[in-house]
Every structure is written in structure tokens, then in C-alpha cells.
């Protein structure tokens, strides 16, 4: 497949513009509405200032309209230690989940070429290396994969690699990656699923006979003159890859480690590109009025990516084919934002204006080690604010930057239009709505469950009356706008919907995010507190040498199973839990990144120590019961206090065991 290069594209757009007065396509004659000088002043004032204030280590932004680049700027460092500045033409950055739109383009090309029938044929009919399992696998379609409505999970499944894996990926390796996939009936809710996109990549490879990296290079990157773009999935760092860094209060930089993608998972986040190349790609999606890109993918197919293909409620915003439609004034816009360690990227297009917008921020939170904490205690080190330190809050949200761009250059956002395709809203009784809703973007059977413990939404009822019912989601107030749908009072374009599935599960949904209502015993916040308090209580076991236990326990303290010894061992184990987290990584979030990168050794050690602590705590509880049963009359105040403390440690075991069982931490479940 071939397409005209960028220069030929510009010539054809110019010809189309010249024909404007002769009755040509109206969209191609759109007058520029963005002044380059105003755009640069905006970018300098926001991103340039953020870099100067050390609130990020780098950023790149671009705006293109009708084939004309109006803005292409980079701020900060490609390589700070060597003082190599970011260059928008040369410096490569991670495009994270913007990669999904490239995968969608690839699949749609195969449909146009006749190698796939359509978006609604079950993918199992065309997969050769892997088939989705029953009971729902034979029903999942390509459209459902692209709208995250297939019923697949994948937010907490390891998707990185510590080894160079040959491509195309073997049947066995692919099955290992997708060992936890379908978790609900397809077509009911949209829940962001990276593994679903991995399956799209496998489908493209099975049908085309090429690896996904080669397919994209031949059919997307080369035709669009994206010479510095690749789908990356090896341990070797790409040439000119920018290195993001966190900035300590002192001003010292902490580079962010690079975590390569597994070849199968690269379909969902493996694109590495330059700002200049990404601006060309944005134009490819923005220039729907021009025929010049039709040899890559037809205007109709590109437009279908930007149209709502699925939504849980007629009154809320939906999801396209790996793009998210919105409206600004009279203009339809489609976008996607994403993040990987150190990188956050965003692309938005407004076809009616032939406008493309691209942004990448390089930003990270500095993570101190033990020496930093010790040095800060004496007023020295990286944690002590200095003249070179950040002058304000770290800038890491691409949404905030886009909102700033929209406020300065676009009409206000408008509320989503109700769907007219006959999809009925779902009325749900008001008294069913309150409770805790927990995100399901995580596997059910592995330890990754604990990393999503905090991703909950607490729903409480507000007012009820003629002006409309309200409820609270966390600290935000929402007003009813229809059956099952609510809009945030401070921003009526921000909408959510409640949906009850056929199995009775109640969901709070928003685009491709979903939270399932859980019972009180299923509330992860309660079990998180049990886990934390249980471990902290066991940590007080270091006070065991001060105990004076009544006989015969006191005379049996030489035995390693004696309560004093067990308390000390359990407390030591709690401290040891920090070792697999702090050695070579920084905190629990970084540990999860390591887990996602298939670092099973680190996670195995962590789980092993945690289970040893649990065993010690269980034995301590049993030993304390024995002491109470065998203690003589009137053991004395100090003995009673010692026994009370030992009993508290034993009781904490119950909470700890329950929490570990809830989060799949009992045993080694990776």
C-alpha cells in the first residue's frame, strides 16, 4: 500500500483551496482560525514557563491546520546530563496509548483491502494463534475490541518484558499474556482493556502475515512520511529517545527508567515517535475533507474512528474506534490521551477545521530513598527546597494543557447529544445507587488486585425534588439529567451513567471507565485498612523484649515458637517487606511498574515475605491463646499488659489474613 508524501499532500490541498471559489468541497476551504504568534505565546507562557520553573523536564506541542504547521515547539531536555535539548524533528518520545489508534487504522485497512469482512464478525473466526475462550469468546467482535466493550480486562496484567521476545509471538507466549481476559459478557459496558488491543494486534498479524511492527512501518509510517516513528518492543533503546526526569525540591534530576513493552502489548502502547511525525499523523485524522489520504485509509473509515460507536447511556459521551468524540461549540472533536512512566501524550483533531493538536509532557514524581530521608532530617539533601527546585506544582496532566488550549482558542464545550439510534435509557431506583463502586480494570485472580484498591468511587444521595435529584460521587455533586444519567453540577458536560447488567451487577460508567458496586464486605477500602493496620500492629512486636509473660510462658522463651520470638520475627518480616520494593525501585507504584514489566522475581519475593509474616502472626495468635489458658491466678499488671499486647498482635492476624485473602495475597498468585 502506498500514499502520496507530505509535500504532494500539501500541493493537493493547495489545489483544493484554489478551487474553493469554483464550488469545491467546503471543508477544504476552511479559513485558518489560529494565529501562529498567539499559539506560540500560549505555549511559551504555559509549557515554556513550566520548564523554566522546573515543573517538568520537557514538553513538546504542535498545531497543524489544512496541512500548514502553525506551531511546533519543544521545551526542555532530550538528555539532561549531556545537555541535549529536545528537538521536535529529532527527539523521540513514547506515545503510550495513542498507539491504539494506529492499531485501529491497521485493522480498518485490512477491512478495506478485503482481508477482513467487517467490524462485526467475531474475531475468533480469523485468529490462528489464540482463540478467546467460552462462554463468550466466539461472540467478541473487532468493533467491541476497539470500543473496549468486549468484556476483556487487562489493566493490571503484566505487559512489559525483561527479555527480547521473538516476533511474531508464539502461541504459548501469547496465551501466557492473555491468561486473564474475558470477565463479563461482551457488549454491555466499555472498560479500558489493553489486552483487547493486544488481541487486535494478533488479528492483524494473523491476517496480514506480517509482524505488527512491519505492517505499520509499511502501511502507515512510510506513506505518511513518519520516518522517525516505530512500534518498539525490544530491550534496546531507540536512537534519540528522550529521557524524562523527576525534579527534586533541591532541583536535582532523577531519570525515569525505560520499561519496554511486550511485543503483543505493543499494539496498545508501543509507538515511539517525534513531535513532527505525530503532527503529520494528526493531520491524517484531521483532513477528512481532503482525498489525499484515501490511499492510506478512506475518509469514511477515518471518520468512523471519530464517531460514537458505543456508550452505556444515550445521554453520556461515548467511545469511537480508539478515539473519544466530544464537541466544542459547533465543532466535533475526537481525541485520545495516555501515559507511561515519565511520559504523557495527547492528540486531538477537529475535522471541520482541518485542525490537529499534539502534546507530550515529560514529567514524574521524585521518589526519595532512605538516604534522602535521613539527610532531610538534618536539613540537607535532595528533599530540601533550593533555588533550582520546582517553583510550583508539577505539570503532568495533558488534560489540563488541552483545557487551557481549548479555553484560549475554541468555543465552549457543549453537552453530548442524546443518541437517536433507539438505545433506551435504563431507569434505576434511586435507593439502589448509594454505595462503594470499585474499578474493574484489574484481574480478579492475581495480586495486581491490591494495586487498584484505592480506585473506588463513593456514591451518596443528595437532594430529591422537582428541580432534579442530585447525588455525590466523592466530593463532586451530580444532577440527574435522565434515566440513569447524571451531570456534574460544576461542569454539565462531565457526565456519568449507572447501568445494571443482566446478572444484576450495578455499574457506574463514564466513557471507557467503569466501577462495579460492591457489598460492604467487598469494599476494598475496608480491606486496605485491615492490611495496613494489621502490618503496623505487627510492627509493634519489636516491643516484645519488654514483655513479662506469666508462667509457664516466661520459662519457655528460649523456644523459637515462644510468643516473644514470634512477635520479633513478625515485626522483622514487616520491615523486610520494604526490601523488594526499595532495592532497585522506589515505591509500591514503581513496584507495580516492575510487575507490569514481568519482573516476577521481585513480586515473588514480596509475596513470600508477606506470607511468612502471616504464618508468624498466626502462630503468635495461637501461642497467645495458650498463654492465657495456662497462666496462673493474678499474674500481675505488667504480665496483663504484656498479654494484652500479645493478644492485640494475635487479633491483628485475623484482619491481616482476611485482607490478604481478599487481595489474592495468600500464596504466590502473580
DSSP letter for each residue of 472-508? EETTEEEEEEETTEEEETTEEEEEEEEEE-TTS-EEE
Query: Sign of the C-alpha dihedral, residues 661, 665, 666, 669?
Result: positive
Return the bridge partners of 481, or none: none
pLDDT the model gives residue 21:
36
Cα 320 to Cα 314: distance, rounded to the nearest angstrom: 14
More confident of the two residues 641 and 91: 91
Of residues 204, 223, 238, 220, the one with CA closest to residue 98: 220
Of 23-27, 467-471, 638-642, least confident by mean pLDDT is 23-27
Does the global pTM surpass 0.85?
yes
- Cβ neighbors of 362 (< 8 A, separation 6 or more) are 56, 57, 58, 59, 76, 93, 242, 244, 245, 342, 343
Average pLDDT of 2-31?
A: 40
Average model confidence (pLDDT) across the chain: 86
pLDDT tens digits along 174-208: 888 887 678 889 998 898 888 899 999 999 999 99
Give CA separation, 634 vs 14, 627, 639, in Å.
99, 13, 9
Q: In this predicted structure, what is the pLDDT of residue 537? A: 93
Tell me the sheet residues that pair with 65.
Answer: 68, 355
Q: Which residue has the higher pLDDT, 548 or 406?
A: 406
Residue from 337, 346, 329 nearest 275 by CA: 346
Residue 558 or 462, more confident: 462
Place of cell 504480665: 639
Most confident region among 346-355, 442-451, 558-567 by mean pLDDT? 346-355
Q: Is the dihedral of CA 516, 518, 522, 524 positive or negative?
A: positive
**Secondary element (H or E) of residue 419:** none
The C-alpha angle with vertex 284 and arms to 281 and 288, in degrees rounded to 5, equals: 155
What letters, b where the CB count within 10 A reaches 16 and e where it falls short, cover 524-533? bebbbebbee
User: Which DSSP symbol is given to 232?
Assistant: -
The pLDDT of residue 78 is 96
The stretch 396-404 carries a mean pLDDT of 94
With cut-offs at 50, 70 and 90, classify the pLDDT of residue 584.
Answer: low
> Does pLDDT of 9 surpass 80?
no
Burial 42-66 (b: 16+ CB within 10 A, else e): bbeebbbebbeebbbbbbbbbbbbb
Q: Note the pLDDT tens digit of each residue in 425-448.
A: 778 899 999 999 998 766 667 777
The DSSP secondary structure of 584-597, one letter per residue, reads SS-SHHHHHHHHHT
What is the 3-state composition of the chain as percent helix, strand, coil, each rounded to the nearest 5?
40, 20, 40
pLDDT score of 351 more than 50: yes
Whole-angstrom distance between the N-terminal and C-terminal Cα of the chain? Answer: 43
Judge whether 60 and 74 are in contact, CB under 8 Å.
Answer: yes
Amino acid at each position: 500500500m502506498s500514499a502520496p508524501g507530505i509535500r504532494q499532500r500539501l500541493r493537493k490541498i493547495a489545489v483544493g483551496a484554489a478551487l474553493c471559489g469554483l464550488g469545491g468541497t467546503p471543508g477544504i476551504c476552511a479559513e485558518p482560525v489560529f494565529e501562529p504568534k498567539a499559539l506560540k505565546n500560549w505555549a511559551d507562557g504555559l509549557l515554556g514557563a513550566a520548564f523554566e520553573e522546573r515543573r517538568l523536564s520537557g514538553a513538546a506541542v504542535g498545531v497543524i491546520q489544512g496541512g500548514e504547521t502553525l506551531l511546533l515547539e519543544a521545551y526542555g531536555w532530550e538528555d539532561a546530563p549531556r545537555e541535549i535539548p529536545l528537538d521536535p524533528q529529532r527527539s523521540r518520545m513514547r506515545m503510550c496509548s495513542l498507539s491504539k489508534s494506529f492499531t485501529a487504522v491497521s485493522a480498518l485497512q485490512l477491512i478495506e483491502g478485503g482481508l477482513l469482512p467487517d467490524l462485526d464478525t467475531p474475531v475468533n473466526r480469523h485468529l490462528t494463534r489464540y482463540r478467546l475462550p467460552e462462554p463468550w469468546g466466539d461472540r467478541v467482535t473487532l468493533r467491541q475490541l476497539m470500543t473496549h466493550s468486549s468484556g476483556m480486562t487487562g489493566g493490571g496484567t503484566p505487559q512489559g518484558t525483561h527479555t527480547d521476545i521473538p516476533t511474531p509471538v508464539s502461541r504459548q507466549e501469547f496465551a501466557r499474556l492473555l491468561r486473564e481476559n474475558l470477565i463479563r459478557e461482551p457488549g454491555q459496558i466499555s472498560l479500558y482493556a489493553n489486552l483487547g488491543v493486544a488481541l487486535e494486534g494478533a488479528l492483524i498479524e494473523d491476517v496480514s502475515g506480517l509482524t505488527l511492527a512491519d505492517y505499520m512501518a509499511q502501511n502507515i509510517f512510510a506513506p505518511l512520511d513518519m520516518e522517525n516513528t516505530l512500534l518498539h518492543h525490544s530491550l534496546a533503546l531507540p536512537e534519540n529517545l528522550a529521557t524524562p526526569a523527576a525534579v527534586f525540591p533541591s532541583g536535582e534530576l532523577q531519570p525515569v527508567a525505560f520499561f519496554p513493552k511486550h511485543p503483543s502489548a505493543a499494539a496498545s502502547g508501543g509507538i515511539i515517535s517525534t513531535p513532527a511525525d505525530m503532527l503529520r499523523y494528526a493531520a491524517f485524522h484531521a483532513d477528512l475533507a481532503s482525498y489525499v489520504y484515501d490511499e492510506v485509509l478512506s475518509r469514511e473509515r477515518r471518520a468512523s474512528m471519530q464517531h460514537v460507536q458505543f456508550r452505556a447511556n444515550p445521554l453520556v459521551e461515548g467511545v469511537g474506534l480508539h478515539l473519544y468524540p466530544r464537541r466544542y461549540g459547533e465543532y466535533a472533536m475526537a481525541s485520545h490521551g495516555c501515559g507511561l512512566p515519565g511520559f504523557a501524550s495527547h492528540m486531538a483533531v477537529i475535522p471541520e477545521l482541518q485542525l490537529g493538536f499534539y502534546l507530550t509532557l515529560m514529567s514524574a514524581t521524585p521518589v526519595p530513598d532512605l538516604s534522602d530521608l535521613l539527610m532531610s532530617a538534618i536539613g540537607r539533601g535532595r528533599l530540601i527546597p533550593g533555588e533550582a527546585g520546582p517553583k510550583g506544582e508539577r505539570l503532568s496532566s495533558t488534560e489540563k494543557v488541552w483545557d487551557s488550549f481549548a479555553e484560549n482558542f475554541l468555543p465552549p464545550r457543549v453537552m453530548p447529544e442524546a443518541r437517536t439510534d433507539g438505545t433506551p435509557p435504563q431507569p434505576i431506583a434511586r435507593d439502589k445507587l448509594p454505595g462503594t463502586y470499585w474499578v474493574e480494570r484489574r484481574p480478579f485472580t492475581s495480586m495486581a488486585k491490591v494495586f487498584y484498591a484505592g480506585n473506588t468511587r463513593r456514591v451518596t444521595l443528595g437532594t430529591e425534588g422537582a428541580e432534579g435529584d442530585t447525588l455525590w460521587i466523592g466530593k463532586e455533586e451530580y444532577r440527574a439529567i435522565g434515566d440513569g444519567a447524571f451531570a456534574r453540577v460544576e461542569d454539565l458536560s462531565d457526565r456519568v451513567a449507572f447501568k445494571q447488567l443482566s446478572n444484576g451487577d450495578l455499574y457506574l460508567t463514564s466513557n471507557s471507565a467503569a466501577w462495579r458496586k460492591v457489598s460492604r464486605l467487598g469494599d476494598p477500602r475496608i480491606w486496605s485498612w485491615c492490611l495496613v493496620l494489621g502490618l503496623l500492629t505487627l510492627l509493634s512486636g519489636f516491643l516484645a523484649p519488654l514483655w513479662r509473660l506469666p508462667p509457664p510462658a516466661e520459662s519457655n522463651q528460649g523456644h523459637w515458637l515462644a510468643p516473644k520470638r514470634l512477635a520479633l520475627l513478625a515485626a522483622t518480616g514487616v520491615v523486610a517487606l520494604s526490601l523488594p520494593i526499595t532495592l532497585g525501585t522506589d515505591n509500591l507504584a514503581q513496584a507495580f511498574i516492575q510487575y507490569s514489566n514481568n519482573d516476577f522475581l521481585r513480586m515473588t519475593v514480596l509475596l513470600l515475605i508477606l506470607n511468612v509474616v502471616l504464618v508468624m502472626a498466626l502462630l503468635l495468635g495461637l501461642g497467645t491463646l495458650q498463654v492465657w489458658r495456662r497462666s496462673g491466678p493474678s499474674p500481675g499488671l505488667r504480665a496483663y499488659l504484656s498479654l494484652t499486647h500479645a493478644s492485640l498482635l494475635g487479633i491483628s492476624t485475623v484482619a491481616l489474613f482476611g485482607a490478604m485473602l481478599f487481595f489474592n495475597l495468600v500464596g504466590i498468585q502473580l
